[in-house]
Amino acid sequence: MEFTADLTEIIQRTNDVKSFRFNRPAGFDYKAGQFMFVTTTVLGERVRKPFTISSSPTENDHIEFTKKLTGHDYSNALDEMVVGDVIDIDGPHGSLTFEGEYDKIALLSGGIGITPMISICKYCSDVELDTKITLISSNKVQQDIVFGEELDRMERGNRNLKVVHTLTRADEDWQGCRERICDSMIVHEIPDYKEYVFYLCGPPLMIDSMVSILNSMGIPKSQVKQESLVGY
Ligand SMILES: Cc1cc2nc3c(=O)[nH]c(=O)nc-3n(C[C@H](O)[C@H](O)[C@H](O)COP(=O)(O)OP(=O)(O)OC[C@H]3O[C@@H](n4cnc5c(N)ncnc54)[C@H](O)[C@@H]3O)c2cc1C
């Protein structure tokens, strides 16, 4: 579906991450984890880039995407948008989706790769699925954690959801994990990991590393779904 959408709300998530919300038009159906193409005018030219839909299909009044602000031209054009501005949307696309197909899922994300995971967690929590979910989210420092409060709230309300944050450059007072996602972390956090379907989202190097770790742990390819944040 292609449509022009009015920006209704901007949410500053962290210092360099913003969510952009639009009215959800009638007939715009999507699955948790899908993405859409967003076109806006950048220095006089129309530019189109893919963004995961960070809202959940259960949220009827809005759709949202969440952008890591890079200081580059397209990013700056979005950063300067105000409520009432319009963008063009083409979607939904993508197959990193979850609608309750599996009993146990592990969501492994790096940085802004959290966006499909928040949609999946919100969806499962809202429709009260019995699916056991472990989310391991990797960031550099505590200030980089996007959707931290939302995930805390969801974890309190959904006994099937476990959220683990790992920080690779944490302050001294950080009590949680301090490593990149690795095999021993997966074994520790998900002892029955062989029964899980793994969802991976993040930068290409992180995805390559996760695929090779899961392969070395004996997880078949059929139990691994992935989306790199580069492409299209
Ligand atoms: C399926 C899919 C889903 C995605 N979902 C999201 C999402 O939910 N949120 C999100 O933020 N992104 C998402 N992305 C990535 C998004 O599409 C953009 O590529 C990304 O946000 C960077 O766009 P940009 O215009 O800010 O940066 P770009 O200008 O495209 O820069 C990207 C990278 O290229 C290099 N680069 C390019 N130009 C320069 C320059 N002048 N100086 C230095 N380095 C440069 C840098 O390494 C930089 O980090 C997704 C991508 C895919 C394929």
Tens-place pLDDT, residues 120-176: 999 999 999 999 999 999 999 999 999 999 999 999 999 999 999 999 999 888 988
- 211 SS3 class: helix
CB-facing half-sphere around the CA of 8: CA atoms within 13 A: 12
Q: Is the CB of 20 under 6 A from ligand 1?
A: no
Confidence grade of residue 231 (pLDDT, cut at 50, 70, 90) = confident
Q: Is the CB of 37 under 6 A from ligand 1?
A: no
Residue 13 confidence (pLDDT):
98
pLDDT at 92 over 80: yes
What residue owns the CA closest to ligand 1's atom 42?
72
Q: What is the pLDDT of residues 5-63, one digit of tens each?
A: 999 999 999 999 999 999 999 999 999 999 999 999 999 999 999 999 999 999 999 99
Q: Is the CB of 231 under 6 A from ligand 1?
A: yes
Q: Is the CB of 62 under 6 A from ligand 1?
A: no
Q: What is the pLDDT of residues 178-187, one digit of tens each?
A: 889 999 999 9
Pairing of strands 86-93, 35-42: antiparallel
Residue 18 confidence (pLDDT):
98
Q: Is the CB of 40 under 6 A from ligand 1?
A: no
Distance of CA 213 to the CA centre of its chain: 21
Q: Is the CB of 115 under 6 A from ligand 1?
A: yes
What residue owns the CA closest to ligand 1's atom 19?
230
Q: How far is the CA of 201 from the centre of ligand 1 (A)?
A: 14
Residue 232 confidence (pLDDT):
73
Domains in the chain: ranges and CATH: 2-93 (2.40.30.10), 104-228 (3.40.50.80)
